[in-house]
Structure 1
Amino acid sequence: MHPDQKYIRYLQEHHSGGIDEIYRLYAGKVKKMILANSGSEEEAADIFQDTLVDIYKLSLDKDFVLTCSFEAFLIIICKRKWLSHLKTTYKKKVTNLTDHIYTFGENEASIAEEYALKIEKENTICALLEKLGDKCKEIIKACLQDKNQEKIAAKLGLSYAYLRKRKSLCMAELAKMVREHHLFKK
């Protein structure tokens, strides 16, 4: 476990002083990176906040242990989010998004990149789920929240057999969308 695990605990415990420390230490670095690459202060704040939320969600996995510096982890996730934002929203050219302004060990960067990719993939799957029809979204989300499919079927006003069939079709459609997405192609 890395000594910076304390920052993860601050997020998990909603420790206001600790979260203030994260902002004090790292928000300026993210802001500088985004401003240097066609971004605004508001976009930098949004990317920083979204990244902290993603790290918090990732940390809820009981197996999650930070094995690199929090700074490397945070900056790389912010960088990936910003690149994705530029690519999808503005189609702007990135001018100065370099890693050399940050001092990470090669191993730290590699570990942080793995976590960043995991977060990006999870967010992509959530976005693809939102592209499904309303009934498919409702079924999949209900099944993710509760494992008792008989209870879900009753709640949605469906027969158990129909729920299972429909869930299977919806999951197949989602899986197809995931396989076709560039992040998941090998």
Structure 2
Amino acid sequence: MHPDQKYITALLHNDTSLLDELYKKYSGKIKWMVLQNNGTETDAADIFQEALISIYHKARTQDFVLTCPLDAFLYLICKNKWLNELNKRKNHKVTLSDNDGYNDIGEDSFKLSEDVLLLEERKELLMQKFAELGEGCREILQLSWSGKGMEEVAEILKVSYGYARKKKSECMGKLVTLVKGSSQFNSLKW
């Protein structure tokens, strides 16, 4: 059973907080795929909703156990649904290639599952090591990662621009050292 099974359980029990997390975490990729293939944001929202309903019905009527990341599974379902919709419309060119593996779960989808899982494990390691940094480092990195310019970060922290840049560089160095020093680093194929 994959840890993402929690989202299947959330669908079955209408757990609004986890469902909210599911939407935030996965809807963007589906939206991008639909928009790249002659769809609208409304189309993407409809396809995403239909996929969740399909998963809900499957989970409700069977002992459904998720064995891969929900991201890959949901993407395949949405891609199938969108291709079916485009086929009904018949007037839009599909830009998905034939070798995308949307007709059945093949090697490409397992590769996608592995890639998604690897990214999640890398992110988890990064967040663990980020938590080990001092409060000052966490604050400056969070501010700079939030899209703020270094001038704005310096102003918020009430320090000079030069100091803010130097401190960010030092903190990034510490984070990189912590990540590379982890026993998990080599197994995550960085």
What is the deviation of 1:95?
A: 1.7
What is the deviation of 1:108?
A: 4.6
CA distances 1:12-70 after superposition (whole Å, capped 9, x unpaired): 01011111011100111100000000000000000001111111001013421111111
Distance 1:87 1:96 in 2: 13
Question: Which structure has the greater CA radius of gyration?
Answer: 2
Q: What are the ranges of 5 or more consecutive residues in structure 1 without an aligned counterpart?
A: 110-186
CA distances 1:52-108 after superposition (whole Å, capped 9, x unpaired): 1111001013421111111111000000000000001233211246859xx953395
Give the match for residue 105 of structure 1.
110
RMSD: 2.4
Distance 1:63 1:19 in 2: 20
Give the match for residue 43 of structure 2.
43
Matched, 1:63 2:68: no
CA distances 1:96-133 after superposition (whole Å, capped 9, x unpaired): 46859xx9533959xxxxxxxxxxxxxxxxxxxxxxxx
Distance 1:91 1:50 in 2: 22
Contact kept, 8 Å, 2:72 with 2:112, in 1: the verdict is: no
Give 4+ residue runs of structure 1 displaced > 4 Å after superposition: 96-100
CA distances 1:110-160 after superposition (whole Å, capped 9, x unpaired): xxxxxxxxxxxxxxxxxxxxxxxxxxxxxxxxxxxxxxxxxxxxxxxxxxx
Q: TM-score, normalised by structure 1?
A: 0.52
How many positions carry a matched residue from both structures?
Answer: 107
Contact kept, 8 Å, 1:2 with 1:69, in 2: the verdict is: yes
Q: What are the ranges of 5 or more consecutive residues in structure 2 without an aligned counterpart?
A: 102-107, 115-190
